[in-house]
Amino acid sequence: MFAVLSRSPRSRWPGVLLAALVACSGDPEPDPPLAAPGGERATPVLVAGLEQEDFADRIEALGTVLANESVVITAQVTEKVQEVVFQDGQEVAQGDVLVELTSAQQSAQLAEARANYAEAERQYRRISELVSGGSESRARLEQQTSLRDAAAARLRELEARLSDHLIRAPFAGVLGLREVSPGTLVRPGDVITTLDDISVVKADFSVPTAFLAALRPGLALSAVTAAWPGERFGGTLTAIDTRVDPRTRAVRARAELPNPGHRLRPGMLLAIELQANPRRGIALPEEALVPVGEQKFVFAVDREQRARRIEVEIGRRRPGVVEVLAGLSGDETVIVDGADLVRDGGLVRIETPHAADANPPVPPAAPGA
């Protein structure tokens, strides 16, 4: 449709043609997908529901590995080594003989003591029969009883002395390096080898007193060491010291870790992570958080498809997830993509991830545009 204004005979601008061309397209008006019936634009967003997950306070510390049981094997008498009956690094059971010391003199004395005891016992029985028949006095029996008991005591003494010449393992474990050879003269206190029970190991570490209320025996922990990169060793907190170090204001704690394969050795350094205050809480996707200064907010979508800004109090963080302590009940649907484009009370349109990729969020029009 065109409209033309012709020159008027009385026009003050002769020779000037004023014309207006108005073109009206026949295509229909596009239907704005982001517009509400009342003209309000709906912002496309991605949303997610909330779930309940397990959370805990994480305490980190450095610890040192200790053997479950550890002892230095030494001699108790001055004598020469007759035979060494173990190998370096050998696993032994409790009571196994490790070293035999020369004991010819002690063996001879023990044989003599056994003979004396046997004779004293035989005389005791003979006199006892005579006393029963009335042909021997009671005093004679008492005297022989004393002689028999003295012979028995002497026998036990020599057996104990001879046992000192057989050095045994006091408990099951793994032996260290051998420090003696046959013929070596050893004295009390001389090191023969070491013995460690490392089927289970202990780990001692210090924890700041700020976490003292959260510590209790039975808490689970995990540990890593540079010797075995990429591997975690699980354990349990077993004891907490009764004293706090006045210099560091830290308390000493001890844990036990199963050690199959004996991969953890006494003296190794461990990086320990302790899970304290285990609890169940609301898990919020981290991308849903909208920080404003020191405050934290989320946008929840109500039944009218409008965004409602809610202040939340957060707790522990994990990769991609944050714990909500207050502000949410757990039944809300929160905006995880597009929260920076919406306003409190604004209309939103929930998109699927595929649709959101095809139609990226459009910023709302400025007022008066």
Q: Looking at the predicted structure, is the pLDDT value of residue 1 above 70?
A: no
- Residues 213 and 278: their CA atoms lie apart, in Å, by 13
Asked whether 21 and 2 are in contact (CB, 8 A), the reply is yes
- Grade residue 365 by pLDDT with cuts at 50, 70 and 90: very low
State the pTM of this model.
0.58
148, 220, 238 from 277: Cα distances, Å: 67, 11, 16
pLDDT of res. 22: 31
CA distance 237 to 220: 6
Could you read off the pLDDT of 238-265 as tens digits, one per residue? Answer: 999 999 999 999 999 999 999 998 999 9
Residue 88: count of CB within 10 angstroms of its CB: 9
Q: Which residues contact 241 (CB under 8 A, 6 or more apart)?
A: 251, 252, 253, 254
pLDDT at 104: 67
Q: Which domains does the chain have, with CATH numbers?
A: 43-53+280-358 (2.40.420.20), 59-67+195-279 (2.40.30.170), 73-191 (1.10.287.470)
pLDDT higher than 50, residue 230? yes
- What percent of the chain has a predicted confidence (pLDDT) above 90? 32
Average pLDDT score over the chain = 81
pLDDT attached to residue 23: 35
**Distance in angstroms (rounded) separating the CA atoms of residues 299 and 350:** 13
